Amino acid sequence: MADEIAALISSIGLTQETFLVLCIIAIVVVGAIVVIIATRPVLDIYPYLNPSARVRARKGRLFTEKQMTELVEANDVAEVENYLKGVPDYAETLDDYPLDKALDIQAAKTYDFIARLAPKEVKDPFVVMSKKTDVDNIKSLITAKEVGLTPEETKDLLIPGGHLYDDLSNLADADNVTDIVTALDGSEYATVLEDALPAYEDSGMILPLESALDKYYLKKLLKSTDVPSDENREIVYSFVGTKVDIANLKLIIRAKEDGLTYDMISPYMLEEGYQLREWKLKDLMESPDVTNVISGLEGTKYAEALSDAIAKYNETGNVAVFERALDEYLASHAKSLASKKPLGVGPIIGYVSQKETEIKNLKIIARAKREVGFPNSKIMEMLI
């Protein structure tokens, strides 16, 4: 047999030594391929190991249903505040700031934490989310100047967080809205504000400026997840895209409740969406009323969530029931996304969504507790 192999090697023009070297190279190459295939799942998971562990630790500090019920049963807003002072995540800020501002600060800290923590391949959308604080602070500055607040009153409106807090604080003593827009030259918000400034000057309303900021933020958020190339990115894209769609839907529903036409709404809309593409958004904006907006969503994933709220809307006439339904849909969607990639981006998505929901619910409770005699049962209905 050995002689036959030797003869075969000779017949193809190779020496036995050369053949042996080629066999060794082949074994090394095959081994390398096997190692790459075997370790690829580990390499995909590795960037998420530390972020997932840190996020899971924070998830353990989120409010349970029992704790939320205890807050609903508080006698007044002071009791709610005292309760939260016993919770580490809120205690520090409540020592220095009123309740509503403390909740906004906690939201800003959450986005900043996730933006720093997220692996490089999914970092961009979370960095954009962390800039929402800057957008809100600019809007607060503009509002403060429009209504003539003092520099001290203006600073009280600002959330100490985001990327531009120090710069924006220095604008608290600006004389007017135009001065604020001018002072923001060089920032990423300069162009959108300058483009909206003529509409503000013509109308005397700050809505064009606020809307321009909202559109810029949503567009940047959607673009930050374009062309998802793997499952982790696809999950983030679905989460972010759904947030953008819901923001568009809330705007349309509110506008139709106020009787606004397509021409009145379209300047303030982000023309693109995730599931709701430009043509669909145009159809919805052209709907004659809220009910037709909801029926126009048939065939989309938002239809069922909103159709269940129609009876409540017909009973109360309050579009807040649709906004709550959309918030609940987003929370449910995020929960399903989180379960798809438990060793990837899933825990991050799950934590961000749960923390957003927690803060929204705390704001609902705080507002309700400021109204004497507001029924606890009604509060429970309002919670997400």
* Residue 97: per-residue pLDDT: 92
Q: What is the dihedral of CA 203, 204, 208, 210, to 10 degrees?
A: -170
At residue 288, the pLDDT reads: 93
Q: Within 10 A of 95 (CB to CB), how many other CB atoms are there?
A: 9
Cα–Cα distance measured from residue 1 to residue 3, given in angstroms and rounded to the nearest whole number: 5
Segment of 22-26, 141-145, 263-267 carrying the highest mean pLDDT: 141-145
Give the other-Cβ count within 10 Å of 58's Cβ: 17
Specify the amino acid at residue 302.
Y
Report pLDDT for 36. 46
- Residue from 278, 289, 292, 206 nearest 248 by CA: 278
CB burial of 204-232 (b: ≥16 within 10 Å; e: otherwise) equals eebebbbbbbbbbbbbbbbebbeeeeeeb
pLDDT tens-digit series, residues 61-76: 999 999 999 999 999 9
Q: Is the pLDDT of residue 246 over 90?
A: yes
* Higher pLDDT, residue 264 or 357: 357
Residues 332-361, mean pLDDT to the nearest whole number = 92
**Three-state SS at 271:** coil
How many H-runs (helices) and E-runs (strands) does the chain carry? 22, 0
Give rounded-to-5 percent helix, strand, coil for the chain.
75, 0, 25
Nearest CA to 239 among 225, 219, 220, 253?
225
Mean pLDDT, the chain, rounded, equals: 87
Question: What pLDDT shows up at residue 70?
Answer: 94
Of 10-14, 102-106, 185-189, 268-272, minimum mean pLDDT range: 10-14
The H or E element that residue 334 is part of is: helix 320-340
Torsion of CA 356, 191, 144, 108, to 10 degrees: 20
Of the pLDDT bands very low, low, confident and very high (cuts 50, 70, 90), residue 268 is: confident
**What pLDDT, on a 0 to 100 scale, did the predictor assign at position 321?**
93
- Answer whether residue 227 shows pLDDT above 80: no
Residue 129 near residue 114, CB atoms below 8 Å = yes
Of 363, 374, 383, 371, the residue nearest 100 (C-alpha):
363
Q: Tens digit of pLDDT for each residue in 74-123?
A: 999 999 999 999 998 898 899 889 999 999 999 999 999 999 999 999 99
- Please indicate whether residue 2 or residue 141 has the higher confidence score (pLDDT): 141
Give me 44's structure tokens: 């995909």
Residue 230's pLDDT band (cuts 50, 70, 90): confident
pLDDT of the residue at 42: 46
**More confident position, 19 or 230:** 230
Closest CA to 275 of 325, 220, 328, 333: 333
- Is pLDDT at 46 greater than 90 in this prediction? no
d(CA 41, CA 49): 12
The DSSP 8-state label assigned to residue 267 in this structure reads G
Contact (Cβ atoms closer than 8 angstroms) between residue 196 and residue 212 = yes
Q: Are 189 and 213 in contact (CB under 8 A)?
A: yes
pLDDT of residue 225: 85
Q: In the chain, what percentage of residues exceed pLDDT 90?
A: 63
pLDDT tens for each residue of 279-325 = 999 999 999 999 999 999 998 999 988 988 888 888 888 899 999 99
Judge whether residue 160 has pLDDT over 80.
yes
The residue with greater pLDDT, 201 or 31, is 201
Task: Give this prediction's pTM.
Answer: 0.85
Q: pLDDT band at 43, cuts 50/70/90? A: very low
* Structure confidence by residue, pLDDT tens digits, 212-226: 999 999 999 999 987
pLDDT score of 19: 53
Distances in whole angstroms, Cα of residue 87 to Cα of each of 67, 165, 257, 349: 11, 26, 39, 23
CA angle (352 as vertex; 335, 213 as ends), nearest 5: 120
Q: Could you tell me which residues come within 8 angstroms of residue 314 by beta carbon, excluding any fewer than 6 positions away?
A: none
Residue type, 259: G
pLDDT of the residue at 187: 92
